[in-house]
Structure 1
Amino acid sequence: MDLVNQYLRGLLSGREDGTFHRSLYLWMVPRGSLLCERRLQEHGVFDNFAAIAELPLLLFKMEPDLVSMEMPSAFREWSVHGDPCGVHLSARALMMLQGLYGLIPIIRGKGPNVTALYNMMVELRREMAHNEPQIPSKIDQLILIDRSIDLLTPLTTQLTYEGLIDQCFGIKNCVVKLPSSRLHQSGGSDGADVMLDQQQSAPVKPVLLTSADLLYQELRDANFSSVGPKLAAQAKQITKDFDERHLAKTVVEMKQFVQKLPRIQQAKQNLALHTSLAEALQEEVSAGLFGPALQVEQELLRGSIDCDKPSPFIEECLGRSAPLFTVLRLMCLQSVINNGLKTKVLEYYKREVVQTYGYEHMLTLDNLNKAGLLTAQLSKSNYATIRKTLRLIVDDVNELNPTDIAYVHSGYAPLSVRLARYVHSPGWRAITELLSMLPGPTLSETQQPNRHKRSDSTSATGDDAGPVVLIFFIGGCTYSEVAAFRFLSAKSHENGGPEYILATTSLVNSNNFLHSLSTDLLPQHTSHP
C-alpha cells in the first residue's frame, strides 16, 4: 500500500488543485484486506479510488495436469507465524475447482492442516446453500498432502531435467532466466545459433519452459543422466528428416517436404536451446560442492551416517564458508531424518552458522526450528521404519529406463508420492501404524451432492480410463514429485490405475523453500543531521 500511495502522490504532484480527474480502481489479488484499506486511509489517498475490490485469481495453469496458487510464502505463514490465511485460500481454490468439475466424492488427507482445510471447505459449501453447480463429478478423489508430513523431499536434490533446472537456475511461472552467455554456447544448427545470438544484447534471457515445446515435454521428467542420449537421438532424427530433401524427385514430394520444413526448423531451434541448457547444467553439477553434497545427502537418506554426531562434511562446508543454503539444507536434512538433533549438536551447528555467516541469520535459525526443520530431538526417530515400509530407498535404480519413481532422485522415492500411491494399493488401512508416526491427523471423508447423483462416467479421459485423482499439496510441491506422479499416470494407462492431476500452493526447490523461511536481522540505519 505504501507503493500505491507513492504512485498516487506522483500522479497528483503535477496537478495544481491536487486532484486527479480520472476514475481510479484498485483490485487486490487474490483477496481484499481491511488492513490495506486502513493503510490507504492513513496515507490520505483512500477517497481517490472510485472502487476497491478483490480479484480472486487463486489458481494458475502451469501445465494441463498441474495448477499452482503461486503462494511461495504459504508454508512459512502457517508453520512459523500460525497464519491460517493460506489454508483458507486453499479451501476457496478447491471449492472453485469443484464448481467447475463437480463435487469430489472422496477426500483423503494427512497432515496438521488437512482437517482445518476440509472444515473450511464444508463451511464454504454450507454458505453456498442450494446454489451449488449441479454437474457430474469429473474428479473421483481428492488427496490432501500437507508439506509438513514430508519435509525430506523439498530438501533433497532434484535430478530430473526440469527439477535440476529449477534447482540450479530457478523456474518462476514456467520461465527460467539464464545469462545469454550460457545460451550462446550452442551445439545446434546455424539457424538455431542465429536465433540465440539475437538475444546476446541482453545480459539475461527469459526462456519459456512448457509442454508446447515437444522436446522439453520429452526431456523434463527424465533423469538428467538420460538427457544426453535423448538429445543425441533427436539430433539424428532432425538430420534424417532434413536429408529427405535429397529424396524428393517430384513436385508433390518437394511440396510435402516444404510443408514439413517449419516443423524441422523449430525442432532444430529447440534442440539448440536444450543442448545449451544441458551444457549449463553440466557445468553446475560438475563444479563446486554439488557432487560431494549430493553424495552426503544420499548417505543420509540411506541411513549410512550417524546423525547423533556433527557431520564432518557439514563442518568442512562451514570452514570453507560454503553457500549458506547448502549448509542449512544438509543440517535440516540430518535433523528431519533423526527427528531432531542432539542438543549439543544443534547448539554447535547454530553457533558455527552465526560465527561463520553473521548474527543476522539468527532469526532464520529460529524460523527453521518453528517449521520443524532444525529442532532438538525429543523422541527416537522413526525414519528407518518409514523408509523400509514405504520403500523410500531403491537400490540399482534404472535412470535411463525407469521402473520406479525413485529415479527422480537417483535412488530416493518421494515420501509424499509413495503415501498417495498407497491410498489405492494396498490402502491406508494397511499402514495405520505408519500414518501415526507422521505429524497431524489422517482425514477420510465423503461428499454427496445435494440433488444429483454423481455420474458413473467420472473420468476426464474417457469411460475406459482409470479414476481421476486430484493431489493437492498444502505448502508446496517439487518438480520431482510432479515427475513421479506423471510416471505413475503413464504406468496407469497400461494397467487401468488412477490418473493423477496436481494442484499446489507453489512449486518449490530446496533453495526457494529455505529462502521463504529466512529472515535477516538488518542493521537499522539512523539519519544524522
Structure 2
Amino acid sequence: MATVGADSGVALQQVLKTVSGELLINTLQLVDGSKDLVIEECLIQPLDYIASASRIKTAGGVAKIYKLLPQSPQSTNKQCVYLMRATVPNMTLVANHINCDKQQGRNCRYFVICIPRPVSVVEQILEREGVYGHIKLLGFPLGLIPLDSDLYSLELPGFFTKFFLDGDSSWTYSICQSILHIEELCGTIPHIYGQGNCAEGVQKMLTLLRGGTSCAPHPKLPKITHLFLFDRDIDYATVLLTQLTYSGLLDETFEVSCGKVSYERNVKGKAEKVRIIANSSDPVYKEIRDTHFSAVFSFLKEKAQQLQSGYDKRHGMSIEGMKNFVANELKILQQQHSSLAQHIGACEVIKDSREDFEEYLRTEHNLLESLEVREGTNFIEECINRQKPMIRTLRLLCLLSLTQDGVSPRDFKSLMQQFLHSHGYEHLTTFHRLKKLGLYYEQGSTASTGPSGAPRLASKMAAAMASFPRSSRFSVITKRLALIPLNAFENYQLKHPDDMGYVF
C-alpha cells in the first residue's frame, strides 16, 4: 500500500511514463538507421501511454508502423523490427513472414524485440522454422502502464489462464521486473505481504533479483512502504458479481480497454461511434467513476445545469468581458459539455441493456447468503433456456458452485447439459476448465485447485470449520468474517455511502 496523495500519484504517473518511453526509444535506437516497425495489435494502446506514434517515428528512427497480421507487411525498408510478446503464436507468425520474404527474394535485416525478454522457446521455434540465423533478438521490459494517477496495469489479459489454468509461471518475471522498476523510482519497498502461490513465487524471485541491494527513493516521488500481493484464486466470488459503480458497468457493458471505451449511439437514425477516455483527465468521469449507478443520472443532471449557468453568464457581458469569456472559459465549457453528452449517452445504453437487472442482483445476493437457492437455480435455468448473454449465465453458475460447495448432484449434469444444448457442445472444454479451476464442480467431488496448486485462503479456513455440516463453507466464512453487511439495503445512502458495500 503506497502513501500516495493526488499530487504524488500524478508525479509518479508522469515519471513512469517518461522513463518507460525513453527505454522504448533507446531499444529502437539499438537498430541503427531507418527501419519499419511491426507491432502486435494488443500492444498498440498500451504503448500509446508511454510514447506516441509520432515520437516513435521521429526519435526511434521508424519510417512506417504496421500491425502484426497473418500476412507479411508490405514493407520496402531494408530493416524490419518486430515488437511483440514472446509467445509461440507470435514467433510462428514472424517465422512465416521471413520465409515468405525469402521465397520472394526480398533481402532484409530482421530484429525481434521480445516483451519482456527473449526466452528459450522463442529460439527453439525460430530454429525449427529455419530462420534463427536471419534474426537478432532484443528485449524490452514493458512494465506497469500508467492508465491513471492511481491505476497501473501490466496489460497481461492472458496471465490468469497461463498461470492458474496451464501452470505456466513464466510471466511472474514480468511482475517482478515491474516492481523493481517502481523501486528504482520510489525506493526499495520494505514490507511485502502476499497470499497465494503466485504471490509467494514473486516474493522469492524479487529477493533473488534484488541481490541484496537497495534503491534510494527519488525526492519528488512518493515512498511506498507496503506492498500487498493477492492471487486471484483466493477470491473468485468478487469478480463473479455484477458491478454497480459507473466505471464497473461501463466495463461490463462495453469493456474498458486500456483506459478507453467505445460504444455506438443512434443520432438522427444513424449509428455514431463514441469514444470515452475513462481516466481522471476527464473531469466528469473523475467525479462519477466510483459512484453507484443509480446516483449517476442525478449528478449528470446537476452538472448540465451548472454548465448551462456557465453559458448564461455571457448574456449582458461587455465586449471586454465577452473576450475574456471566449478566451478563458468557453473552450472548457464546450469540452465539459461534450464529455457530459458522452456519459449521458453511455448511461442510456447501459440502462437499456440491463434486462432483468434486478432479478440478476437478487439471485446473486441470495446465493451469497445461501437464501432461496432453489429459486436461484431456477432463474439460472431460465437464463440458459432464454439464451441470455453466455458470460453472465456462466458467472451465475460458478457463483452457485462456489457458494454451495459445488452444485447438487441433481442439478450439476442437468444445468451443464441445458447450457450445452443452448450454447453449443464446443463448451464442453469450457466446463472442463472451470472444473479444473474449482469454479464449477459437483457437491461431494474434490474441486481442483488448478496446476498452480495455489492454497486458497477460503480452503484453509474451511478446513478449520468442518464442524458446520448444515451450512456451506463459503457461508460460514462470510458470516464469521462479516464479509456481507447486515441490512445492507436498509437506509443505505447511495449518494454518500459510509462503506464499500455499494460496489456490488
Query: Is the pair's TM-score, using the shorter chain for normalization, greater than 0.5?
Result: yes
Q: 1:266 aligns with which of 335, 343, 364?
A: 335
Q: 1:364 aligns with which of 407, 430, 447?
A: 430
Identity %: 29
Q: CA deviation at 1:205?
A: 4.5
Q: How far apart, CA to CA, are the structure 2 residues paired with 1:158 and 1:264?
A: 31
What residue in structure 2 maps to residue 391 of structure 1? Answer: 483
Instruction: State the Cα RMSD in Å.
Output: 2.4
| 1:234 aligned onto 2:303 | yes
What residue in structure 1 maps to residue 503 of structure 2? Answer: 408
Q: How far apart, CA to CA, are the structure 2 residues paired with 1:357 and 1:256?
A: 58
Q: How far apart, CA to CA, are the structure 2 residues paired with 1:254 and 1:19?
A: 61
Q: 1:34 aligns with which of 85, 109, 120?
A: 120
The answer to whether the Cα contact below 8 Å between 2:141 and 2:177 also exists between their aligned partners in 1 is: no
What residue in structure 2 maps to residue 174 of structure 1? Answer: 259
Q: How far apart, CA to CA, are the structure 2 residues paired with 1:108 and 1:134?
A: 21
Q: Which deviates more from structure 2 when the two are superposed, residues 212-221 or residues 353-362? A: 353-362
What residue in structure 2 maps to residue 305 of structure 1? Answer: 372
Q: CA deviation at 1:350?
A: 2.2
What residue in structure 1 maps to residue 134 of structure 2? Answer: 48
The answer to whether the Cα contact below 8 Å between 2:175 and 2:202 also exists between their aligned partners in 1 is: yes
SS of equivalent to 2:143: coil
What residue in structure 2 maps to residue 382 of structure 1? Answer: 473
Q: Structure 1 length normalisation: TM-score?
A: 0.67
Q: Structure 2 length normalisation: TM-score?
A: 0.70
Q: What is the total number of aligned residue pairs between the two structures?
A: 382
| 1:6 aligned onto 2:101 | no
Q: How does 1:333-352 map to 2 (within 5 A)?
A: 333-352=399-418
Structure with the bigger RCO (C-alpha within 8 Å, sep 6+) is: 1
Q: CA deviation at 1:63?
A: 0.8
The answer to whether the Cα contact below 8 Å between 2:307 and 2:333 also exists between their aligned partners in 1 is: yes
SS of equivalent to 2:331: helix
Q: How far apart, CA to CA, are the structure 2 residues paired with 1:138 and 1:377?
A: 48
What residue in structure 1 maps to residue 148 of structure 2? Answer: 63
Q: How far apart, CA to CA, are the structure 1 residues paired with 2:376 and 2:496?
A: 37
Q: How far apart, CA to CA, are the structure 1 residues paired with 2:489 and 2:291?
A: 18
Instruction: List alignment gaps of at least 5 residues for structure 1.
Output: 186-196, 410-529
SS of equivalent to 2:503: helix
| 1:25 aligned onto 2:141 | no
Q: CA deviation at 1:218?
A: 0.8
Deviations 1:257-290 (A, max 9, x none): 54211111111111111111111111112x3x43
The answer to whether the Cα contact below 8 Å between 1:297 and 1:330 also exists between their aligned partners in 2 is: yes
SS of equivalent to 1:392: coil
Q: How far apart, CA to CA, are the structure 1 residues paired with 2:338 and 2:489?
A: 38
The answer to whether the Cα contact below 8 Å between 2:366 and 2:373 also exists between their aligned partners in 1 is: no
Counterparts in 2 of 1:327 and 1:253: CA distance versus 1, 3 Å: closer
The answer to whether the Cα contact below 8 Å between 1:248 and 1:254 also exists between their aligned partners in 2 is: no
Deviations 1:104-158 (A, max 9, x none): 11222223332222112112222xx54x433378011111111111101110111
The one-letter amino acid of 1:133's match is C
| 1:134 aligned onto 2:219 | no
Counterparts in 2 of 1:321 and 1:345: CA distance versus 1, 3 Å: same
Q: How does 1:53-452 map to 2 (within 5 A)?
A: 53-126=138-211, 129-130=212-213, 132-135=214-217, 138-179=223-264, 181-182=265-266, 184=267, 204-249=273-318, 251-252=320-321, 254-256=323-325, 258-285=327-354, 287=355, 289-306=356-373, 311-378=377-444, 381-388=472-479, 389-393=481-485, 394-396=488-490, 397-409=492-504
Q: Which deviates more from structure 2 when the two are superposed, residues 59-68 or residues 250-259? A: 250-259
Q: How far apart, CA to CA, are the structure 2 residues paired with 1:30 and 1:123?
A: 18
Q: How far apart, CA to CA, are the structure 2 residues paired with 1:55 and 1:294?
A: 44
Q: How far apart, CA to CA, are the structure 2 residues paired with 1:310 and 1:259?
A: 56
Counterparts in 2 of 1:43 and 1:94: CA distance versus 1, 3 Å: same
Q: How far apart, CA to CA, are the structure 1 residues paired with 2:178 and 2:405?
A: 33
Q: How far apart, CA to CA, are the structure 1 residues paired with 2:421 and 2:324?
A: 71
The answer to whether the Cα contact below 8 Å between 1:62 and 1:174 also exists between their aligned partners in 2 is: yes
Q: CA deviation at 1:175?
A: 1.5
Q: CA deviation at 1:19?
A: 4.3
SS of equivalent to 2:406: coil
The one-letter amino acid of 1:306's match is V
Q: How far apart, CA to CA, are the structure 1 residues paired with 2:369 and 2:244?
A: 17
Instruction: List alignment gaps of at least 5 residues for structure 2.
Output: 1-90, 445-465
The answer to whether the Cα contact below 8 Å between 1:91 and 1:121 also exists between their aligned partners in 2 is: yes
Q: Which deviates more from structure 2 when the two are superposed, residues 396-405 or residues 218-227? A: 396-405
Q: CA deviation at 1:34?
A: 1.9
The one-letter amino acid of 1:382's match is R
The answer to whether the Cα contact below 8 Å between 2:172 and 2:201 also exists between their aligned partners in 1 is: yes
The one-letter amino acid of 1:392's match is I
Q: CA deviation at 1:13?
A: 4.6
Q: How far apart, CA to CA, are the structure 1 residues paired with 2:250 and 2:319?
A: 46
The one-letter amino acid of 1:401's match is H
Deviations 1:166-211 (A, max 9, x none): 00111111112212x34x37xxxxxxxxxxx9xx78x744432221
Q: CA deviation at 1:252?
A: 4.7
Q: CA deviation at 1:405?
A: 0.5
Q: How far apart, CA to CA, are the structure 2 residues paired with 1:275 and 1:206?
A: 13
Q: How far apart, CA to CA, are the structure 2 residues paired with 1:271 and 1:13?
A: 55
